[in-house]
Structure 1
Amino acid sequence: MNLTPFLSLADFEAAARRTLPHAVYGYVFGGTEDSLSVKANRAVFDRLGFRPRGLTGVANRSQSVNVWGTEYPSPVGIAPMGVTAICRYRCDMDLAVAARSRGLPYVLSGASNVALEDIQENPGGAWYQGYFPGDKQRLERIVQRLLRANVQVLVVTSDTPVAANRENNQRNGFTIPFRPSWRLLLDGMLHPSWSCGVFLKTLRQDGIPRFLNLYEEPGPAITAEPEQGFRGGRDLLTWEHMSWLRDLWPGKLVVKGIMHPGDAEIAVKRGMDAVIVSNHGGRQLDGAMPALAALPGIKAAVPEDFPLMIDGGFRRGTDVLKAVALGARLVFIGRPALYGASVAGAEGAGKVLDILRQEIDRNLALLGCENINELNTDYLDPVQLRSFIGRPL
């Protein structure tokens, strides 16, 4: 596919909206209830302007960042996303290939549909994000599977104790477990490229997509309710389980969904290796503050060298640079990468990453900052910044 006309991440979103059935696009794009958090995640970037420097000499620009001794060529990775098989045949593999081929981190969702062992065999290097129950026996079995697959980074989601109220999916007739209907069939027929290239190809090659990485063994088809329920026992998960996991897990341990400075402090005290500041892309608690707005308070609460990561609403290189200036080490993107994969597989998701890298490079030069590791709040509008962080500079 010729991707030359795709100049921004918004171009991929527009193409995905045309390509995907209405119900599928609604599942990917939508939030919960009134989508307040989804909208806020985007609007927050308008509250911070830049204060560029001039004549600084920016010929040798670098956007490389170091996390736990690993050098990444850009501060961007692909966030975990579940049920991506509805967008592209073996979509999880496409996302992994796109990130790995560019030396960037990819987080495989526990609710993914390609076996983590297949992804670890080639291209490898995936982080794993789990939706964990508060059951130590089951947790230990899941951990043993991850260790056998040579997973190095375990990401535990903290903000999904119960199912969110995703009314838009119910209105579109698209729920998990998936229930076929005449309405969805007609929706698919109106998008023949998706019906042939995704729906029928998946059924022909692999059968009904399954939750292959949610548990210690391959899980059920997306049309079935698992024996213990999709969220069975998640409301029992506590920081005590995280301390127990810290003793059990030999690799890097990250908590995703941190929005409060107090939780970040607990994460540090209990030996976590990083946190991901996130409101789950606006897909859990509606009305939750934007992740970017939570970042300054969390940065102030943790040691200087403690890695902070973030996701939620990032669509431009300038968005990424604002997060880095506020203290983020890595920025994860979700929906844009999935839009890219929906349109053109690994090539499309890779083009999304390339666009962000190019925008970051260009805007570093325009900011007068040669090395992204030197970017800080001095490059932000001080008046807007004081209002943004809610305290004197």
Structure 2
Amino acid sequence: MLPRPLFGYIAGASERNASLAGNEAAFARHAFRPRVLTDVSGRRQETRLMEQDHAAPFGIAPMGISALMAYRGDLVLARSAEAAGIPMIMSGSSLIRLEEVAEAAPTAWFQAYLPGEPDRIDALVDRVKAAGFGTLVLTVDTATLANRENNVRAGFSTPLRPSLSLAWQGVSHPRWTVGTFLRTLKEHGVPHFENSYATRGAPIVARSVERDFGKRDHLNWTHLDQIRRRWPGKLVVKGVIRSEDAATAAERGVDGIIVSNHGGRQLDGTMAPLDALPSVVEAVRGRAAVMLDGGVRRGTDVLKALALGAEFVFVGRPMLYAAAAFGAAGVDRAIAILKEEIHRDMALLGIERLGDMTSDFLAPNR
């Protein structure tokens, strides 16, 4: 379906993929303790998060260059999420202008990768605000570019470098080549990183791309304070593992924290978000909403995260695979499957409301 370099970009993580594997393995360490003979005929999974109502306790995680995987991929994901009543977080490394996504999906969130440069921070925050986004997500675990050896082995690079191998991948995957790549070139030209800063970024084939994405090692708590002062909407910090960092973020006025290790794509060997979750919840209880990203694949995973204190979770790779395979219809179906699983699993657990899902329903899976 997808050329090998693009599939490798989605499927892989960094170095040995230890964190990628660990994210999913963390869920397997917990077993359920369901209760029986409980009337669950009225069960519902609607969720209220940061004063907003959602049809389910999950949303779509931010994923860069989605428009290379599926034609207008960010719009496909955003529209499907909007129709399903769940939030989608648009990635700052997307190839579609954030204004287009905000217009198509008013409830979408925007995720920013920001350098430690006050002028550029203010300019991008003002652009996101003018576009109409209500929630800004600052990703904080990307101080430098990760060592993604998987991308090298798969033949993927940023910037994209034409080669005979890439040409063969295009020839051998005609559906993607015609339906996504050539269609994009014909209707929109060479893709650019549209939302790295307030102005249009570099094209995906430009040598300056790596330099633009590597200027984040100066970002610090004073910049978070700057964003909080300038941004009037909900502010979420993504990429937190340590409870001390979560507490500091809450003290500085963030509305939400996403416990995440970037899907295993940054520091390999970072602990699984599910394992970090309970301490983060305890550290910010009553001061900020706590969400989780990483390793969520089934309805049972969603419910385990909720039992350990998460108020919401985000799902990434499965949604992008669905978009690449079947476009909007694929994403619609992926969302529906996850909703159906949660609905069924609630019945089998013996709960009618997601708020009933506490740690009492879990036991160590020895």
Residue equivalent to 1:343: 325
Residue equivalent to 2:276: 294
Residue equivalent to 2:234: 252
Residue equivalent to 1:192: 174
Task: State the Cα distance separating 1:207 from its structure 2 match.
Answer: 1.4
Matches within 5 A, 1:301-312: 301-304=283-286, 306-312=288-294
Counterpart AA for 2:232: P
Residue equivalent to 2:31: 49
Q: Distance in 2 between matches of 1:314 and 1:232?
A: 28
Q: Distance in 1 between matches of 2:336 and 2:208?
A: 38
Kindly indicate whether the alpha-carbon contact (under 8 Å) linking 1:161 and 1:231 is maintained by their aligned counterparts in 2. Answer: no
Matches within 5 A, 1:1-393: 19-226=1-208, 229-304=211-286, 306-381=288-363, 383-384=364-365
Q: Distance in 2 between matches of 1:144 and 1:225?
A: 27
Q: 1:129 to 1:371 in 2, by over 3 A?
A: same
Q: Distance in 2 between matches of 1:91 and 1:131?
A: 19
Q: Distance in 1 between matches of 2:125 and 2:9?
A: 30
Q: Distance in 1 between matches of 2:221 and 2:47?
A: 29
TM-score after normalising by structure 2 = 0.97
Counterpart AA for 1:111: S
Residue equivalent to 1:9: none
Q: Distance in 2 between matches of 1:281 and 1:53?
A: 32
**Deviation by residue 1:162-190 (Cα, 9 ceiling, x = unmatched):** 00001111122211111111101101211
Q: Distance in 2 between matches of 1:188 and 1:261?
A: 46
Q: Distance in 1 between matches of 2:287 and 2:37?
A: 30
Counterpart AA for 1:315: R
**Deviation by residue 1:344-378 (Cα, 9 ceiling, x = unmatched):** 11111111111000000000000001101121101
Q: Distance in 2 between matches of 1:243 and 1:292?
A: 28
Kindly indicate whether the alpha-carbon contact (under 8 Å) linking 1:279 and 1:291 is maintained by their aligned counterparts in 2. Answer: yes
Task: State the Cα distance separating 1:304 from its structure 2 match.
Answer: 3.7
Kindly indicate whether the alpha-carbon contact (under 8 Å) linking 2:250 and 2:287 is maintained by their aligned counterparts in 1. Answer: no
Kindly indicate whether the alpha-carbon contact (under 8 Å) linking 2:158 and 2:209 is maintained by their aligned counterparts in 1. Answer: no
Kindly indicate whether the alpha-carbon contact (under 8 Å) linking 1:157 and 1:257 is maintained by their aligned counterparts in 2. Answer: yes
Kindly indicate whether the alpha-carbon contact (under 8 Å) linking 2:203 and 2:209 is maintained by their aligned counterparts in 1. Answer: no
Kindly indicate whether the alpha-carbon contact (under 8 Å) linking 2:26 and 2:274 is maintained by their aligned counterparts in 1. Answer: yes
Counterpart AA for 2:337: I
CA RMSD of aligned residues (A): 1.3
Kindly indicate whether the alpha-carbon contact (under 8 Å) linking 2:4 and 2:155 is maintained by their aligned counterparts in 1. Answer: no
Moved more, 23-32 or 295-304: 295-304
Kindly indicate whether the alpha-carbon contact (under 8 Å) linking 2:308 and 2:358 is maintained by their aligned counterparts in 1. Answer: yes
Q: Distance in 1 between matches of 2:252 and 2:65?
A: 32
Aligned-pair identity in percent equals 46
Kindly indicate whether the alpha-carbon contact (under 8 Å) linking 1:51 and 1:367 is maintained by their aligned counterparts in 2. Answer: yes
Counterpart AA for 1:59: S
Task: State the Cα distance separating 1:228 from its structure 2 match.
Answer: 8.7
Kindly indicate whether the alpha-carbon contact (under 8 Å) linking 2:254 and 2:288 is maintained by their aligned counterparts in 1. Answer: no
Counterpart AA for 1:351: R
Task: State the Cα distance separating 1:231 from its structure 2 match.
Answer: 2.6
Kindly indicate whether the alpha-carbon contact (under 8 Å) linking 2:146 and 2:265 is maintained by their aligned counterparts in 1. Answer: yes
Moved over 4 A (4+): none
Structure 1 unaligned regions, length at least 5: 1-18, 388-393
Q: Distance in 1 between matches of 2:227 and 2:51?
A: 22
Kindly indicate whether the alpha-carbon contact (under 8 Å) linking 1:219 and 1:226 is maintained by their aligned counterparts in 2. Answer: no
Counterpart AA for 2:246: A
Counterpart AA for 2:87: P
Task: State the Cα distance separating 1:225 from its structure 2 match.
Answer: 3.3
Counterpart of 2:249 in 1: which secondary structure? helix
**Deviation by residue 1:239-277 (Cα, 9 ceiling, x = unmatched):** 111112111111111100000000111011111101000
Kindly indicate whether the alpha-carbon contact (under 8 Å) linking 2:159 and 2:209 is maintained by their aligned counterparts in 1. Answer: no
Task: State the Cα distance separating 1:31 from its structure 2 match.
Answer: 0.6
Q: Distance in 2 between matches of 1:271 and 1:160?
A: 21
Counterpart of 1:189 in 2: which secondary structure? helix
**Deviation by residue 1:74-94 (Cα, 9 ceiling, x = unmatched):** 001000010112211110000
